[in-house]
Every structure is written in C-alpha cells, then in structure tokens.
C-alpha cells in the first residue's frame, strides 16, 4: 500500500521462535510504519495481526480465522466435539469454529456428526456443514436451525458478540443478553448430557444466568483459551452435562 512500509527482522538469536501453535516455522517480527492517512490504532492492529502466531498458523492450516484455535483449545480441555455428535454454531462467520467442528465430529463422513452454523453476516459454504445466514434473534431462526439439525443437539456453541460501545458495563449487558437467548435455545434442543459454550466478558456471567446454568447442567466453568488475546476481555462459559428438559422448559419440536 502507498505510504506504508514493513520491516522484517528475526527474533533474538536468529532462530525460529516456535511461538506459533504449530511450532517449527520461523517467525519474523514485522514493524509497520504509520501511514499518513492511517490512524495509529489501525497501524497497531495491523502490526499485531502480522506478528500474531495464530493468524500465521490459521492461514497455514486453511482456517478462516485465528478464532479456530479458541475452540480447538476449549475442546482439547473439555472434550466436547466427538465423532458422530450434532453441533450448532451460533455467530459462526467467517467459519473457523465450524471448520473445527466439522473436522472433529467427522461431519460428512459415514457415521459422522452434523454441524449447523448460523450468522447474520453472509459467509461462504463449508464442506460437511450446513451454513445458514440469518439473524439468530429473528422469530424463525430456531426453527431453521432445528430443521437443518435433524434431531437433538449434543453441543451448542455461541461465539456471538454485540458491537462494542466502549462502555464496559453496557457491553457486558449486551453480550449477557445474547448468552441468555442462546441458552434458551440450547435448552430446547440439547440432548441429556449435552454441552453449551458461550462467549462472555471477564467478570463472568450474571448471577441469575449463572444460577440457571447450574440448575440445568452438572458442571459450569469459565475458561479463557490461550488463543484469546491477553488484552481481550472475552472469556467463555462452558456448561456440560445437560440435565434434560423440565416441565418449565418448552419441548423440542
């Protein structure tokens, strides 16, 4: 691009850092000079992207986003995505989580699982998955997901996030509201023993939401995967061992 330059220099000792998730590849520290027409914040974001080992590894492995490593790390810890299970991925675009789910449940293979993703944004098809575009908050969204799923879900994933305002309390309330809607859907479609994973901000879930999770799941924990940037307020609530629908909950259709 006109007006900007990048410089690459090796890390200390001139050896590959091994810092990337895959290791073994030489990483270069890239310094981006601020262009006259670009804000400093944009320059810092670009420099962070260029030096992020997860960005590099995502490109190398064909994942659509570095976020793929978040669900990989959560799954390695909690063992959510097993061959043959049904998975719903909410807030799925551009598709990194969906790609990982397809691989791990062996969707599209004999006796493999099922993966259905939805996002309000347009996103490209993924082999082995059903890709839906639509607003999850729309009245018809749950029925569209259930129809594509073809049966009860074993795992409901939600990486949904409302646009941030820069006001921590407001942003926290917005994302909690999304988690509440996702949880309501999860309790409609999950099979007993199923799992629910949702993004929240640090500080965890509101007490009423946490109480609801504990009432309906045997285990509820918060986890921040290593791929989640240290300066990000995001963390994830992981609820496992769904107790099954109660009389208070709507029946799955």
Output the domain CATH number for residue 170: 3.40.50.150
User: Quick one: pLDDT at residue 29?
Assistant: 55
User: Quick one: pLDDT at residue 134?
Assistant: 97
Does one domain contain both 112 and 143?
A: yes
Does 251 fall in a domain? no
Does one domain contain both 91 and 171?
A: yes
Does one domain contain both 232 and 111?
A: yes
95 is in an annotated binding site: yes
- Are 190 and 154 a contacting pair, CB within 8 Å? yes
Residues spanned by the domain of 38: 6-61
- What pLDDT digit, counting tens, does each position of 47-87 carry? 455 557 888 899 999 999 999 999 999 999 999 999 999 99
Does 233 fall in a domain? yes
User: Quick one: pLDDT at residue 14?
Assistant: 35
159 is in an annotated binding site: yes
User: Quick one: pLDDT at residue 173?
Assistant: 83
45 is in an annotated binding site: no
Tokens of 49: 């992207």
Which of 35, 61, 87 is the endpoint of a domain?
A: 61
Does one domain contain both 130 and 186?
A: yes
User: Quick one: pLDDT at residue 161?
Assistant: 84
Which positions are annotated as active-site residues?
199
Q: Which distant-in-sequence residues (6+ apart) come within 8 Å of 213 by Cβ?
A: 183, 196, 205, 220, 237, 239
User: Quick one: pLDDT at residue 117?
Assistant: 98
Does one domain contain both 96 and 163?
A: yes
Does one domain contain both 51 and 77?
A: no
Does one domain contain both 190 and 91?
A: yes
- Are 186 and 33 a contacting pair, CB within 8 Å? no
User: Quick one: pLDDT at residue 114?
Assistant: 98
Does 253 fall in a domain? no
Below-50 pLDDT ranges, the chain: 1-20, 23-26, 28, 30-33, 44-47, 250-253
- How many separate domains does the chain show? 2
| Biggest distance spanned by C-alpha atoms of the chain | 64
Query: The whole model's pTM is what?
Result: 0.78
Mark residue 128 as left, alpha or beta (left: phi above 0; alpha: psi -120 to 50; beta: remaining).
left
């Amino acid at each position: 691009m006109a007006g900007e330059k990048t410089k690459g220099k090796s890390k200390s000792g001139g050896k590959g850092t091994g810092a990337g998730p895959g290791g073994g590849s030489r990483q270069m520290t890239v310094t981006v000079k601020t262009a006259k027409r670009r804000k400093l914040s944009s320059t810092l974001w670009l420099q962070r992207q260029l030096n992020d080992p997860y960005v590099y590894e995502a490109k190398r492995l064909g994942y659509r986003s570095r976020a793929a490593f978040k669900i990989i790390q959560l799954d390695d810890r909690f063992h959510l995505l097993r061959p043959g299970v049904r998975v719903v991925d909410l807030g799925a675009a551009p598709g990194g989580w969906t790609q990982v789910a397809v691989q791990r449940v062996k969707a599209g293979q004999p006796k493999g699982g099922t993966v259905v993703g939805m996002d309000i944004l347009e996103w490209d098809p993924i082999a082995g998955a059903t890709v839906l575009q639509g607003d999850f908050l729309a009245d018809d969204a749950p029925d569209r997901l259930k129809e594509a799923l073809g049966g009860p879900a074993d795992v409901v994933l939600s990486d949904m996030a409302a646009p941030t305002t820069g006001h921590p309390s407001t942003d926290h309330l917005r994302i909690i509201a999304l988690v509440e809607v996702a949880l309501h859907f999860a309790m409609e479609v999950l099979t007993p023993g199923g799992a629910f994973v949702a993004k929240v901000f640090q500080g965890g879930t509101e007490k009423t939401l946490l109480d609801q999770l504990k009432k309906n799941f045997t285990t509820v924990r918060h986890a921040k995967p290593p791929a989640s940037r240290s300066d990000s307020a995001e963390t994830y609530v992981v609820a496992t061992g769904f107790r099954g629908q109660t009389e208070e909950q709507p029946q799955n259709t």
